[in-house]
Amino acid sequence: MQNLETDILIVGTGLAGLSLAKYLSEQNPNLQITLLSKTSIDECNTYYAQGGIAVVHDFIKDSYQQHIQDTLLAGKGICDKKVVEHVITEAPARLQELIQWGVELDKNNSGELDLGLEGGHSQNRIVHHKDKTGLEIETKLIQVVQNLANVTIRTSFFATDVLLDNQKCIGIIGFDEKSEVTSIVAKATVLATGGSGQVFSVTSNPFVSTGDGVAMAYRAGAKLEKMKHIQFHPTALYEPNKSQAFLITEAIRGFGAHILNHKMERFVFEYHPDGELATRDIVSKAISDEMKKEHSKHVWLDVRHLQIETFKTKFPKVYNYCFENGIDVSKDLIPITPAAHYQCGGIVVNEMGATSIKQLFAIGECSHTGLHGSNRLASNSLLEAIVYAHDSANHLISLMDTIKMNKVEIIPIRYKNIHHDEVLQFKNQLQHFMKYDSLYANTKNTEKVYEMVTEMSKRFKMKFKNYNSHPFLCETYNLIQTAEIILKDCLPKRYRVKSVKKEKTIS
C-alpha cells in the first residue's frame, strides 16, 4: 500500500476542481495540491456542457435583480436567497478570470459578448462558445492547470472513501492507475466529483457521473439535502440503449426551435404560457405527459423553419452529430426525450464550501449550496462551480496554517478480482428501475421502485461483501446508494433517515 501526502486534495477535474486548483496555486505557489481524476482528466460533465454560463453582462437591458428573480422562480421557492444574490453578483468577476485564463467566448457583430437565451431567463444572458462551451472551458483550464508547478494531477485514480480520524476528514483511500491501494492524507479534502446522472436509464451525463462524491460523503456521515431534486433536461436526442444520451442544447429553443407531438402540435403551450422556453421541470413534465398520452417513446424538436446557415455556425456540434446519425435538421424532425441531467441537491455546504465534516469540502454539482432550489435555472451550474471554487480557495488558504497533519494508522483495503458481468447486471438493473416516472409519477410508484432498489442493495452487499475491493464494484455500489438516497428523499417523511447511517469507511 502506498501512503501519500499533500496539503490540499481535490477529487474531480471538471470546472470546479480545476478552477479551485488554479485559485489556490495563484494565492500560494508553495502549497502542494493534488488533483484526482477517475479516468482521463477531461471526462466529466463540464466537458459535455453545451449551453454556457449565465452572467448579467448587458446592464442596460438586464440587471442582477432580474437574474436573481429568474433563479428564484425556477427554484420554486426553496432557493437560499442570500446564496442566489451572492453567486449572481459575483458572476462578472469570475467570468473575467475565465477569459484571462484563455477561455474564448462568442462575440456578436459589434464585438460584444454574444448573449444567448435559455428557458426560464427573462433576458439574453448566456455567454457561450458555440454549442461547446464546456469543452472550451475544460480544455483551456487543463492547459492552465498542467502548467502549475505545485499541482500534481493523477488520472485513473478511483477514490473509494474519505478517511476519518476523530470526526475529521484526513484524506481519501482508493486505487491508483495500477490498482495499487493508495491513501492520500491531506490537510483539506475537496469533493468536486460532479453529478449522478448514471443512476438513471436515460441521462445526458457521461459514464463517470456515478454519484461517487455523494455516496462517499454519505458513508462518512456528512449531511445531504434535496437529493430528490433531479433535473431532467427536456431535449436529449432519442437514441435507445445509449449509456449517455446526446444533448440538444436548450439554447436551440432560445434560438426559436419548436417542440412538436406526433400530431405536429406545439403542445408545451398547453402546459405553460412560456411554451418551449418555460423552465426545464415544466417542459420535461409536459413532454413526459404527452409521450404517455400518445403512447410514444419520444416527441420531436423542429428547427426546419430556422436559418440553417446561422444554425450551423451557432450549433455545429448538434448539427454534425445529427447529420452523422442520419438526421438532416434542415429537413428532418429531431426525436427527443427528457434525460436525467443535473443533481440539484447534494452534500450540504456553507458559503465556503465546507461540509458538516471538518476538513471536508464540496464544490460543484456534488454539493448543495442552496442556489438551485428544486429546479436549476439553465446555465447557472458552471457559474456556481467557479464562484464556489473561488470562495473556498480563499478559505482553504486561510486554514492551512491551523491544521497539522498527524500520523495516523490507515487500515488498508484489499484489491479483489471481480467478474465484471456479475457487477454490470446490478448496474443495468438499477438503471432499468430509475426513470423519470420513478421520481415524478406518484408516491406509490416511487415507493415500489424504492423497495426494489433497497432489495437489490441487500443482494449486492450479500454477494460482494466488500464494496471497496474493486473500483467497478465501488462505483456500482455508489450508484445503488445514491439511488436509494434520491428515492428515500422523494418519499413521505416516515421513510427518511433521521441522521445518515454510518458505514465503516475501511475494512
Residues designated as active site: 280
Question: What sections of 275-419 are H helices per DSSP?
Answer: 280-294, 308-314, 316-324, 381-399
Please measure the distance between the N-terminal and C-terminal CA atoms of the chain and give it in whole angstroms. 14
Which residues in 111-170 contact ligand SIN (CB under 6 A)? none
Select the residue interacting with ligand SIN from 189, 279, 381, 392 (CB under 6 A): 381
Q: What's the closest the beta carbon of residue 425 comes to ligand SIN, in angstroms?
A: 31
Cell output for 64: 442582477
Q: What's the closest the beta carbon of residue 123 comes to ligand SIN, in angstroms?
A: 16
Q: What's the closest the beta carbon of residue 79 comes to ligand SIN, in angstroms?
A: 16
- The nearer residue to ligand SIN, 51 or 370, going by C-beta atoms, is 51
- The nearer residue to ligand SIN, 184 or 257, going by C-beta atoms, is 257
- Cβ(183)–Cβ(1) below 8 Å: yes
Q: What's the closest the beta carbon of residue 49 comes to ligand SIN, in angstroms?
A: 6
- Cβ(391)–Cβ(369) below 8 Å: no
Question: Contacts from 99-106 at CB under 8 Å and sequence distance 24+?
Answer: 101/22, 101/140, 101/141, 101/144, 102/140, 102/143, 102/144, 103/129, 103/136, 103/137, 103/140, 103/141, 104/129, 104/136, 104/140, 105/52, 105/129, 105/133, 105/136, 106/130
- The nearer residue to ligand SIN, 49 or 278, going by C-beta atoms, is 49
Residue 94's alpha-carbon distances to 132, 170, 217, in angstroms, are: 19, 30, 28
Rounded Cα distance, 234 and 99, in Å? 30
- Cβ(314)–Cβ(115) below 8 Å: no
What single-letter amino acid sits at 180? Answer: E
Residue 13 contacts ligand SIN per CB under 6 A:
no
Which residues in 473-502 contact ligand SIN (CB under 6 A)? none
- The nearer residue to ligand SIN, 36 or 251, going by C-beta atoms, is 251
Place of cell 470546479: 16
Nearest to 344 by CA among 80, 141, 101: 80
Q: For ligand SIN, which residue has the nearest CB?
A: 51
Q: What's the closest the beta carbon of residue 375 comes to ligand SIN, in angstroms?
A: 11
- The nearer residue to ligand SIN, 343 or 446, going by C-beta atoms, is 343
Residue 379 contacts ligand SIN per CB under 6 A:
yes
**Strands of 224-225's sheet in order across:** 224-225, 346-348, 367-368
What single-letter amino acid sits at 244? Answer: Q
Which residues in 391-450 contact ligand SIN (CB under 6 A)? none
Q: What's the closest the beta carbon of residue 381 comes to ligand SIN, in angstroms?
A: 5
- The nearer residue to ligand SIN, 279 or 381, going by C-beta atoms, is 381
Q: What's the closest the beta carbon of residue 131 comes to ligand SIN, in angstroms?
A: 7
Nearest to 278 by CA among 132, 85, 117: 117
- The nearer residue to ligand SIN, 301 or 430, going by C-beta atoms, is 301
- The nearer residue to ligand SIN, 159 or 251, going by C-beta atoms, is 251
Cell output for 357: 465534516
Which residues in 28-57 contact ligand SIN (CB under 6 A)? 49-51
Size of the site for ligand SIN (CB under 6 A): 9
Q: Which stretch binds ligand SIN (CB under 6 A): 211-219, 297-305, 376-384, 493-501?
A: 376-384
Q: What's the closest the beta carbon of residue 439 comes to ligand SIN, in angstroms?
A: 18
Residue 233, beta-bridge partner list: 339
Rounded Cα distance, 73 and 253, in Å? 19
% helix, strand, coil for the chain, step of 5: 40, 20, 40
Select the residue interacting with ligand SIN from 378, 383, 479, 485 (CB under 6 A): 378
Residue 381's alpha-carbon distances to 16, 435, 438, in angstroms, are: 10, 23, 24
- Letters for 243-282 (x = contact with ligand SIN by CB under 6 A, - = none) are ------xxx-------------------------------
What single-letter amino acid sits at 187? Answer: K
- The nearer residue to ligand SIN, 29 or 316, going by C-beta atoms, is 316
Q: What's the closest the beta carbon of residue 184 comes to ligand SIN, in angstroms?
A: 31
Q: What's the closest the beta carbon of residue 244 comes to ligand SIN, in angstroms?
A: 14
- The nearer residue to ligand SIN, 249 or 469, going by C-beta atoms, is 249
- Cβ(418)–Cβ(466) below 8 Å: no
- Letters for 209-248 (x = contact with ligand SIN by CB under 6 A, - = none) are ----------------------------------------
What single-letter amino acid sits at 400? Answer: M
What is the C-alpha R_g of the chain? 22
- Letters for 327-366 (x = contact with ligand SIN by CB under 6 A, - = none) are ----------------------------------------
Rounded Cα distance, 382 and 365, in Å? 9
Query: By the criterion CB under 6 A, which residues form the site for ligand SIN?
Result: 49-51, 249-251, 378-379, 381
